[in-house]
Structure formats: C-alpha cells, structure tokens
Structure 1
Amino acid sequence: MYFPKPGIKKHPKKRWNQPDRTFFGFGACHILASVYLEKFTDKGFYALRIMPKAGFYGNHIFVTDGIVAFDFHGYSLKSQLIAHFWKGWAERNPGWEACIEVVDFPLLETASLNQRKMLGPNQYLHSPIERAEKFLNRFDHERLILSVYQKARKHLIY
C-alpha cells in the first residue's frame, strides 16, 4: 500500500508524476481495473470494490476471477490482497471496516465516477488509460496467473 504525502491528489502534476504503483494504488485503481478488463476479456475477471464504512478512507478497486486478483501490486491470491489491504488501513485507522461489492458502474465514465468521488479519465493531467496500458504490458500475465493458481493449490492441499 502506498500513502503519498497529504494533499498530492489536489495537484494534477504532482499526482501524475508519482511512480506507477503509487499512481494506480492511490487514486487511479479504477482506471487500471477498467483497462485490464478491456484488455483481457477472455480471463473471466470482474471488478470488486472495497468500500470503507462512513467516515473512513480506503476505497479500492481491483479485478479478480474469484481466486486470482490483480491490482497495482500485480497478481496475488484474492484473499491475500484483501487481507493486506484490510490490515494496512486498519493499522492506520482504528475502527476501520469496509464491505466488498461487485462493481456495477462504468469504470471509465466520468459522471458515474465523480458521483463516487473518483476522477474520470479525462480529468487527469495526461491519459491514464495509456499509462495503464503501458503498466499492463510489463507483466507476463499467463505465467503470473498460473503461478498464483499453483500457490492456491498448495494452500488447499497442505
């Protein structure tokens, strides 16, 4: 998890100039999830949203097929991603709780995103869609998905 300096989201240039993992891990996760789903329609993935209870921060969107998950960290077991995220926010904010829901709104539609306090793709300094595509191109997706499934099998067998 990444926690940039307070106020950085209010400065388009500073927000944009963060490293990719920070950019997609702290404010543009929905863009990464949407581009992933468009690029890999054949993998059976869908988007989930972690929604903190009222008064808390920690919204996050990632993609999963129910076992394997992908977000700014790369690939992991869905259960481990959720546990890691939960632990990080709960340690920083006593009483932090959230629910997890299937995303049922368009992840690249500005009006829909703004209603949920997220930026649309046209509200960034440059194209976050192109940035997400470049980020995704750095991964060997088939090999990494297979390795997470192998890890899942070990956890079920042992």
Structure 2
Amino acid sequence: MYQPRTPGYCKKDPVKRWNLPDRVFFACGACHILAHAFLARFDANGDRGFYSLRFKPAAGFTGNHIVIAGHDWIFDYHGFSPRDAYLRHTWHRARQRWPGWQADLITLPRNVLISEEKSREIDGLWLRGPDQFLHNALPRANRFLTRFGPPSA
C-alpha cells in the first residue's frame, strides 16, 4: 500500500525495483516474500498461530498488501504494530489517497506466498516467486528481518 516516490519507478523494471531501499521494496510488491520469511523464521511449524493476511481492495481500487497477523499485532515492512491501530491507520491513509477505499481481509495459505502458480489459484492474486525478481528476494527478506526481534508470545 506504500506508494513509491522514486523517479521513474516501475514494477516492470527489475533493476529499479531491486534497487529500492529495503523498506520500500517490501512495501511495493515483495510484501509476500517478507511474510513468508517471517513465518519460516518465527513460526516454522505453524503452532504459534501466526498467519498471512491479505488486504484485497474492493473492485475499482488498488492497495493489495500482505502482512503477518498475530493475536493482537500485525507485522509488515514497518515492523510490529498493534493490530487495531494498524488497521485504523491503513484505512485512514488509503481513504486519503483513494476516497471510499474498501478492502476485505483474507487469510492466505502459507504455500501461496512464494509460489506464483499457487497464488494464481486465488481470485485476483498473482504473486511473484522469490526467484522472479532481479535476484532471489528471500535472502534479502531474511536480512531485513534481522532488524526486528521475535514476536511477543
């Protein structure tokens, strides 16, 4: 949901996309890679109850985004945020940019996060695999995660 301000930025230009700062890179089209890396690091067995959550904009709107949700927090390129505050902020900022913005929150199966083929089985979703960027995005996501501690219990 982050709108890059990089002159000449285009998702279709793999070099410009790769050269974005990490925070912008994981906000603008690689959020699902960060979500996968988070789950692999902090909930590999799936027993902690963390899950990926997709913001699916209503018809006619943009702003697709994938985050990780815990019981009372959300994690994305910002780091950890209280869940209610994050959701209020997201809707507020999106409606500033796109009046009337609406989105559904949809839980995604883990296996779609790094599989273009599996992601395309979900209505309106089409995610790149980590190796479909200029370089493999998974090591970059793992390095980015070192900036944050583990989630609270």
Q: TM-score normalised to the size of structure 2?
A: 0.85
Separation in structure 1 between the aligned mates of residue 99 and residue 16 of structure 2, nearest angstrom: 29
- Given residue 114 of structure 2, which amino acid in structure 1 is its aligned partner? L
1:12 aligns with 2:14: yes
1:7 Cα offset (Å): 4.9
Q: List runs of 5+ in structure 2 lacking aligned partners.
A: none
Query: Does structure 2 conserve the Cα–Cα contact (< 8 Å) formed by 1:114 and 1:120?
Result: no
Q: Where in structure 1 do 4 or more consecutive aligned residues deviate above 3 Å?
A: none
1:122 aligns with 2:116: no
Question: Which deviations, in whole Å up to 9, do the C-alpha atoms of 1:113-134 show, x marking residues without a partner?
Answer: 3561322212100111000000
Q: CA RMSD in A?
A: 1.9
Distance 1:96 1:85, change over 3 A: same
Match of 2:2 in 1: 2
- Given residue 34 of structure 1, which amino acid in structure 2 is its aligned partner? H
Q: TM-score normalised to the size of structure 1?
A: 0.83
1:63 aligns with 2:65: no
SS at match of 2:3: coil
Match of 1:54 in 2: 59
Separation in structure 2 between the aligned mates of residue 113 and residue 12 of structure 1, nearest angstrom: 20
1:1-158 matched pairs, under 5 angstroms? 2-5=2-5, 7-41=9-43, 43-104=48-109, 106-114=112-120, 116-141=125-150, 145=152
Range moving further from structure 2, 87-96 or 113-122: 113-122
Separation in structure 2 between the aligned mates of residue 40 and residue 86 of structure 1, nearest angstrom: 27
SS at match of 1:37: helix
Task: Determine which structure has more spread, i.e. the larger CA radius of gyration.
Answer: 1
Distance 1:86 1:25, change over 3 A: same
1:69 Cα offset (Å): 1.3
SS at match of 1:61: strand
